[in-house]
Structure 1
Amino acid sequence: MTELPPTREQLRLEGFELIDETLSFLVGCLGDALKSLGEDSLIPYLPWSGTVPENHPPEGTQQLYSIGFQLLNMVEERVAAATRREREKVLGADSIRGLWPQALRDMSALGLGPQEILAVLADVDVQPVLTAHPTEAKRASVRERHRALYEELVRNEYPKYTDRERRRIRERIVTALETLWRTGEIHLVRPDIYRELRDAIHYLRDLFPSALNRLDLHFTEAWRNAGFPQEMLRAAGNIPRLSFGTWIGGDRDGHPLVTPEVTEKALEMLRRASFQLLKRELEQVAGQLTLSRQLNEIPDALERRIDELTFSFGDEDLTNDLHDRYHEEPWRHLSGLIAARLQRQIDGHPGYNSPKDLDNDLGLLADGIRGVGCSLIDEQYLRPLRQKLEIFGFHLALLDVRQNSEFHDKAISRLLAAAGLEDGGNYASWTEEKRLAFLTEELKSPRPFLHDSARIGEEADAVLDCYRVLAKHRKEWTDAGLGALIVSMTRQLSDLLGVFLLAREAGLMEHDATGSWCALEVVPLFETMDDLDRSPGILGAFLDHPLTIKTNEKRANGGKPSQQVMLGYSDSNKDCGILAAQWALHQAQEALTVTGNERGVKLCFFHGRGGTISRGAGPTHWFMASLPHGSMSGEFRMTEQGETIAQKYANLANATYNLELLLAGAAITTANHRHTPPKKDPAEPFLPFLAEKSQEAYQALLRTEGFINFYRQVTPIDALENSRIGSRPARRTGKKGHSIADLRAIPWVFSWTQARFYLPGWFGVGSALEAMQKESPEQFEALREVLAHSTFLGYVFTNVETNLASANLDLMNEYAALVDDPELRKKFMDIIVAEFRRTQDLLEGLYKGRMDDRRPRMAKTLAIREAPLRVLHRQQIAILKQWRGLVADEKEAEAETMFPKMLLSINAIASGLRTTG
């Protein structure tokens, strides 16, 4: 009798067993490390090792559980990769959601042939943007230990090792855990921006290139397996396009430490790292180019270039060494000379003027290799290297510059006052009509107000000196590496046109006989509910302005003009709650897309998604599927923030998987938006009502008298404001006040998460659903019927449900005990608990069942964490109470001494929850 292959359900259960088995192995290794270190008192408290004693846990439990959670996170990532492999073997590659085999199958199902698919892919341009918000609590050295552990875990999977070899692996794991235990886990000194940038450079330079090799291979294999000709794909060039951006060293919104000098240094660090990347990749390729002079015809152009580079060095020792070693292998000889030239640039000496010059040399290698019939060497080694040069260039990642519109207003006021304009010093308080009349007239002239050496005041000098750094970079290295000028809190048209005025002053405007244009793209960032509502009108007026038209035409270089628009998922949620914010963002994208289409401008939406659901996070392919029809032009940017960078990209398998989700998701979404008729989301008629009611409930809570006082006592927000987790202050103004408006969205979410409320991710949804059920029961039933067919509301409710499942009522009540006033505590806990239960019950009613039954994998990952988390939360509550008592008694030295324990508590809980802000 033939044995049937396993089903999806069987594969999932096998995955659960593998999690338990691998975790048990690693916890055993951790126990051995503790024995070796003499930490015997902690061994009974090892998580997931049986019954943990209920008495007061000893000192060190926080660190023990923090490391335990780090191991669990590692195991879950590794098992997820193993399960995907098994699924591919059993059910086929196209059974895995969101990856290339399924995306190409789905595009074919739309009736697209290979040529039409290539036309879609030619427009796909995806850019993850790495940011360093104050959410990454782990030090770089801890992440290095994690990588070592992960590599041993991968080795341990090899089935043919002997017992002796397996013992060696276990010993190495125990040694790595011993080192991890004695490695300081958290930042006791606030990290500076350069450290944050070095962390980002690690991913860009050291990890992404290897992931790109695999990614390219996966795509090529999927293309061939779909029955499409590879020659057609290669003829189309490097498509779809993937590149990278960063805000670290450029984002100065509320970050006074990001000075013009920091931006200049960041550009230099990124450039140097790109040369290091290219040299390393070239040296790896050179080892494959051992074709002999005796067996192959050597092209004259190759010989000439070897001679030219040899004579250009003026370093006989170097060139003689290369000649002696590689003269018989001319392709390797030329590679060695190219690598030596890149090393000179790493050392700060002149070398290649542009990536094109370097690519010309790589082209000589490739042409010669193909010319002697070795096309596979070109395909497998040189083509991927040239692709990396196209992706990373001499800049590694685009550096965006972001500043707040109010800061720009102050800068312009200073500028106009210094230029002697009547009432110029009051520009910030001018009406919008007066601003626009002034800017429209003034921007017709190419001349700046002042000499570039003039010092005119703090805000103006900060902006203009930053822009001068960008202008200097352009002269030396062209626009490569320079991203956009992003205006956060864009409220009106003058917020954008004012940037043109500042750019003109700093030499970032270009001029010719036909007019002026800005060298860099000016990008609005719409964040608050009101700004999102007004965004189509603001964007339309901006796109109609002659300077914008000229700027976009110049950037398009003969193609279709495009305009980047950034959407903020954090402040909108903090403003009005998750459901209203998501609906406002959805509507804004629809309306903005129409605005762009009416003007023949393609929009690239830049999604400022955070690391938590409350700030826009969620599975990438589900997120893309939920976008409004027509809003995906192919160009797509999104922020990757804080701890999510390590979660998604810290190891090769995970990095490749997440990048493939991004690229394949963008491709199929673009194809759907372009080649299928617009289809209304069936839940759309219900959303205005639900959004309005949820916003009312959410804002009513925030406006209830005493809320700020309750919030500051029930969550560890005061500890977060004093933490050293990231370089950026917790508040935009840098003041520790009692204003939610001034508080950044990250600590707002982080604090509720630490206290297990997850409040910004669900509050208001239950009230909205209850209002619909009471006021219009037939509509509620209709909503239940269409929910399964709504990509947008399905995505939002799934995320809300995840937040509810991650929250914990018992722990909420324990944190509530920190609130001094019993009446205040009861008042707000009654509101919050009622809304929690209401939301939970109504969602279960809509979905006709509990989340645990419908989403067993999510239920498993939450359940396995709960017992050790409860211990950590109770410890944190005790630490908070003691620390606040010392602060209240003005015992500053004692409070400061306690603070490392507080930080370790925050970090341990963040590891367990796999999320911060």
Structure 2
Amino acid sequence: MTDTASNSTREQLRLEGFDLIDERLQYLLGCLEDALVSTGETELLPYLPWSGRVPDISAAPEGLPQLYSIGFQLLNMVEERVAAEIRREREKALGAESIRGLWPQALRDLKGMGLTPEQILAVLKDVQVEPVLTAHPTEAKRSSIRERHRALYGEMVRNEFPKYTERERRRIRERVVTTLETLWRTAEIHLVRPDITSELRNATHYLRDLFPAAINRLDLHFTEAWRDAGLPLEMLRSAGNIPRLIFGTWIGGDRDGHPLVTPEVTEKTLKELRHSAFKLLERELAELSTQLTLSRYLTPVPGELQARIDHLAKTVESPEAVKEILHRHEEEPWRQLALLMALRLREQIKGKPGYRNTACLTDDLNLLSRTLAGAGCHMLEEDAIRPIRHKLEMFGFHLATLDIRQNSEFHDKAISQLLTAAGVEDGENYASWPEERRLDFLNTELLSTRPFIHNDLRVGTEADDVLDTYRVLVRHRKHWGTNGVGALIVSMTRKLSDLLGVYLLAREAGLVDLTPEGLVCPLQVVPLFETMDDLDRSPGILKAFLEHPLTRRSPADGNQQVMLGYSDSNKDCGILAAQFALQRAQTALTQVGRDSGVNLCFFHGRGGTISRGAGPTHWFMAALPNGAMSGGFRMTEQGETIAQKYANLANATYNLELLLAGAAVTTAHHRHLPPVEDPCQAFMARLGDTSQAAYQNFLKAEGFIEFYRQATVIDALENSRIGSRPARRTGKKGFSISDLRAIPWVFSWTQARFYLPGWFGVGSGLEKLKQESPGDFAKFKEALPHSTFMSYVLTNVETNLASANLELMSDYAGLVEDVELRDRFLGMILTEFEKTKTLLAELFDGDMKTRRPRMAKTLDIREAPLRVLHQQQIALLREWRGHVAAENSTEADALLPKLLLSINAIASGLRTTG
């Protein structure tokens, strides 16, 4: 097909997608109308969004925010489903390679680089991708709401089947209406702050119930793409399950500023994850058994198979259940073995003896494989047992690895308490010791196995918490090894002693091994560099850390994780300077790794918004500096992004495939292609410095805090029940921006439609470059299309600008009581906004609506109902703040749920929180 014909087909499919969105949305809105009638909410019918009616908003009923919130939820669902449909249509019309970022295109690119099948396999063997599910307070919806969404999505998919009769379609519509009735009567917001158990339960749904099904599809997609690319399947199979996909989580392990994550919570989390893994594997084996119906009267039963059945029948401590299995399936020995394996896992959840580790279960799976192959059932082994072995490798007996994260300042307090209790001179001032003194002390202590205090001695809140947490890991390791436990992550890593101090605390808790060469920590200590200053210092810190004898002795499989924070760096210095600092740090850190002979696995702490690192995953990977992808890739999946990416099987499969294929292609590029200097590199320092100055001058301007707190919903967010974590890192009262977490910082600007952290300062940087060096600006524009990184960054900035709304910014600024203050800061914001928008349009040769019609469509369709919600929210804020100021706590508390519902409704419309 010619390029012209291909472009024509793409345009036709895009327009078809727009029509499908409108058609499906109207269908669901019709069902919502029926649900409103049946629930007696007829006064809301004139206010249905996208109905073409223009009612009087001033007389709107109380349920309007909920109505619009549900409307947005339906729209989001429709857009996700239509995107999947259009991808399918594109594959039919243009071939699988036409879909950007998936395996067919990835393998074509790898072959296009001139790589042999052996070289491609060598790359894939090194690829390990690990999404890490976190529970940051950015998921505004309750789990009950998400359950209703899953039911609606299922009915929507069923309704696509073209051969249903009218009666069958009527039944589907009735089920949709019923689900919408329930959704209408289900409370949308958390009136009680969710606990960690409920957050873990939500993550477990994805890990245990959704991802395993997606794995089956992923594996099939990869196998088909490999075969269709003309690559030998037997070579792929002999390499094992590659590339590798595993999962991690922070829920129950991330205690940075989260006092509710206690050692007991961590212990319970590890147990729950283990039991969920057993349930997953038990379910898989039970399903497998239904396919293993080979009869002993038609197929000779190998002696080793019968011997294993007999052994399990004697050792599984559930005689009645064993008897039932052997009697019911007397003719089917392979089925007996699979069911006995499942029973053993089920009993293991109850604390009874079972598989000591995954290797023991693998032995039984291998026995099934061998004996099935011996019976000539090679396809059955390929299609039924290999997928379970794959899941056992991925999920193990732990489901997801649990990282333990704590703040360096917290560790300093813990060490101070230990030293004080042990009578070390000036130990109470450890946190303020000069770095040289800290290092001398730590290096001397790490030569000794002697602890400071007895295990049962309590010496202080911080020390007790850290040591008790590490003792939980010691007990887990004793029974289950290090499987299931991730890294010890040090947030706000500022210097080498912040990392070595973790070794000291690990020694104190017994979380170390003694070798002839000295102490070894069985878990990796991982720095998290977050602020711009810390990112710039990170290469020196990492170099010294990698050269430390204890680090060199500790097992890391030749890899060292380094975590990068996208949120605090942005809050610290603005989006351009932050992105440049992150790129600069990765380049320098990668060189440190090379010099030390260590592969670095970067752990990207990305949030759900562009200002916190979000953006198309495959483009994000392509924009990484050369060498920064050695195969390992970790990234956080936070809050509402988990549901957006993984709530249904089709979307989950698509997004996981993007991750795996993107990691493979990027690793191959970094390994096999010569590094090419970014053509925009020469301009980054100037742009970063100017944009940072503009951003920081804005934040430091007199009266900024007052303007910010009145022009956004930050005070309401601080009273919300969205997540279990406090809005402020230290829990201190006060209005310090530095103490405020990046999530509510971004959330508050987003709700008020400023989107300020995602663009402010960019216009000033570009303007100064153009004014001072018009020729350099022209060169920058010419180089931009050839810079993957700079194109990615500025396209994301443009998306934030398009999502912002000048009229609503002014309306929210109207909440600022001081007129002079309001006009001054709003003037600065509007000037920077217009400057940024104009200069980006010049760089990209046109505005976003012309160049990115799909993005423009998804923004435009939301704007009218969003404007109504914003106006209501502004009125609610004004009234609520009046009650708070007058100390009318009863009235303020009564109004808060309405305010939180409006925040939730707007978040649904914007498809983002923080």
* TM-score above 0.5, yes or no: yes
1:276 aligns with 2:241: no
In structure 2, the partner of 1:555 is 556
CA distance in 1 between partners of 2:187 and 2:733 (Å): 28
Confirm or deny that 1:425 pairs with 2:428. Answer: yes
1:4 Cα deviation after fit = 7.4
Identity within the alignment, %: 70
Deviation at 1:314, TM superposition (A): 4.5
The separation in 2 between residues aligned to 1:735 and 1:370, in whole angstroms, is 65
Partner of 2:893: 896
Aligned equivalents of 1:555, 1:618: Cα separation in 2: 30
In structure 2, how many angstroms separate the alpha carbons of the residues matched to 1:840 and 1:263?
47
Residue pair 1:721, 1:736 contacting (<8 A) in 2 also: no
1:584 counterpart = 2:587: no
1:875 and 2:872 correspond? yes
Picking from 528, 551, 560, the partner of 1:525 is 528
**4+ residue stretches of structure 1 with deviation over 3 A?**
2-6
SS in 1 for 2:361: helix
- For residue 12 of structure 2, what is the aligned residue in structure 1? 10
1:48 corresponds to which residue? 50
1:606 corresponds to: 603
Matches within 5 A, 1:103-502: 103-502=106-505
Could you say which residue in structure 2 is the equivalent of 1:864? 861
**Paired amino acid for 1:331:** W
Distance 1:862 1:430 in 2: 53
| Separation in structure 2 between the aligned mates of residue 440 and residue 880 of structure 1, nearest angstrom | 55
Are the equivalent residues in 1 in contact too, given 2:467–2:505 (CA < 8 A)? yes
Q: Does the CA-based 8 Å contact 2:17-2:86 persist in structure 1?
A: yes
2:665 matches 1:680: no
- Quote the residue 1:638 is aligned against: 635
In structure 2, give the amino acid aligned to 1:900: P
**What's the offset of the Cα at 1:261?**
0.5
Shift of 1:54: 3.3
Matched, 1:21 2:18: no
**Residue 20 (structure 1) shift:** 0.5
SS in 1 for 2:56: coil
State the Cα deviation string for residues 481-539 of structure 1 (Å, max 9, x = none): 00000000000000000000000000111111122110100000000000000000000
Normalization by structure 2: what TM-score? 0.99
* 2:402 and 2:486 in contact (8 A); partners too: yes
Matches of 1:639 and 1:314, distance apart in 2 = 41
2:754 corresponds to which letter in structure 1?
A: F
User: Given the alignment, which residue of 662, 665, 669 partners 1:665?
Assistant: 662
Q: Deviations over 1:570-625 (max 9, x none)?
A: 00000000000000000000000000000100000000000000100000000000
**Native 8 Å contact 2:57 2:868 kept in 1:** no
Question: Is contact 2:316-2:354 (8 Å) kept?
Answer: no
Secondary structure of the structure 1 residue equivalent to 2:157: helix
Q: CA RMSD in A?
A: 1.1
Q: CA deviation at 1:167?
A: 1.0
Structure 1 unaligned runs (5+)? none
Correspondence 1:796 to 2:798: no
SS state at 1:534 partner: helix
| Residue from 28, 35, 38 that aligns with 1:33 | 35
Quote how far apart the aligned CAs of 1:396 are.
0.4
SS of match in other structure, 2:402: strand
- Higher mean Cα deviation, 608-617 or 306-315? 306-315
Matched, 1:566 2:567: no
**Quick check: 1:740 aligned with 2:737?**
yes
Tell me the CA shift for residue 31 of structure 1. 0.5
Which string of whole-angstrom CA distances, capped at 9 and with x for unpartnered residues, describes residues 241-296 of structure 1? 00000000000000011110010011011011100111111111111111111111
Q: Secondary structure at the match of 1:133?
A: coil
Q: Equivalent residue of 2:556, what SS?
A: helix
Asked if 2 retains the 8 angstrom alpha-carbon contact of 1:145 and 1:180, the reply is yes
2:781 maps to what in 1? Answer: 784
Output the CA distance in 1 between the equivalents of 2:668 and 2:86. Answer: 29
Output the amino acid matched with 1:565: V
Alignment-derived partner of residue 84 in structure 1:
87
Asked if residue 718 in structure 1 is aligned to residue 720 in structure 2, the reply is no
> Quick check: 1:124–1:666 contact (8 Å CA) kept in 2?
yes
1:829 matched to 2:826? The reply is yes
Q: Deviations over 1:48-70 (max 9, x none)?
A: 11123133121101000000000
Q: Secondary structure at the match of 2:126?
A: coil
**Is the 1:249–1:262 Cα contact (8 Å) retained in structure 2?**
yes
Distance 2:519 2:427 in 1: 24
Query: How many residues are aligned here?
Result: 910
User: What secondary structure is seen at the aligned counterpart in 1 of 2:256?
Assistant: coil
Check conservation: 1:47, 1:68, Cα contact below 8 A: yes
What is the identity, as a one-letter code, of the residue corresponding to 2:542? L
Q: Is residue 770 from structure 1 mapped to residue 772 from structure 2 by the alignment?
A: no
Amino acid of the structure 1 residue aligned with 2:887: E
Instruction: Return the alpha-carbon distance in structure 1 between the equivalents of residues 647 and 302 of structure 2.
Output: 43
- Please give the alpha-carbon distance, in whole angstroms, between the structure 1 residues aligned to 2:549 and 2:317: 52
Q: 1:848 aligns with which of 831, 845, 862?
A: 845
The superposition leaves residues 678-736 of structure 1 with CA deviations (integer Å, 9 ceiling, x where unpaired) of: 00111111100000000000000000000000000000000000100000000011123
Aligned partner of 1:760 in structure 2 is 757
SS in 1 for 2:260: coil
Partners of 1:299 and 1:242 in 2: CA distance: 35
In structure 1, the residue matched to 2:836 is: 839
Quick check: 1:81–1:654 contact (8 Å CA) kept in 2?
A: yes
**Partner residue of 1:885?**
882
TM-score, with structure 1 as normaliser = 0.99
* Aligned amino acid, residue 428 of structure 1: A
Whole-Å Cα distance in 2 between the matches of residues 502 and 677 of structure 1? 43
1:45 maps to a residue whose letter is Y
Q: 1:126 is paired with a residue of what secondary structure?
A: strand
What is the CA distance between 1:146 and its match in structure 2?
0.3
Q: How far apart, CA to CA, are the structure 2 residues paired with 1:332 and 1:400?
A: 38
The 8 Å contact of residues 137 and 186 in structure 1, kept in 2 or not, is answered as yes
Check the 8 A contact 1:46/1:52 in 2, yes or no.
Answer: no
Aligned letter for 1:878?
A
Q: Deviations over 1:400-429 (max 9, x none)?
A: 000000000000000011111111111011
Task: Report the 3-state secondary structure (helix = DSSP H, G, I; strand = E; otherwise coil) of the residue aligned with 2:57.
Answer: coil
Greater displacement, 289-298 / 748-757: 289-298
Aligned counterparts of 1:710 and 1:514: Cα–Cα separation in 2 = 59
The one-character-per-residue Cα deviations of 1:880-905 (angstroms, maximum 9, x if unpaired) are 00000000000111111111101101
Is the contact made by 1:135 and 1:643 (CA closer than 8 Å) also made in structure 2?
yes
CA contact (8 A) 2:107 2:225 kept: yes
> In 2, Cα distance between the equivalents of 1:296 and 1:52?
73
Q: 1:443-487 deviations in whole A, cap 9, x for unaligned?
A: 111221221111111110010000000011000110000000000
Tell me, which stretches of 5 or more residues in structure 2 are unaligned? none
| Offset of residue 347 of structure 1 | 2.0
Counterparts of 1:616-655 in structure 2, within 5 Å, are: 616-655=613-652
Query: Which one of 705, 709, 721 corresponds to residue 708 of structure 1?
Result: 705
CA separation in 1, counterparts of 2:556 and 2:335? 39
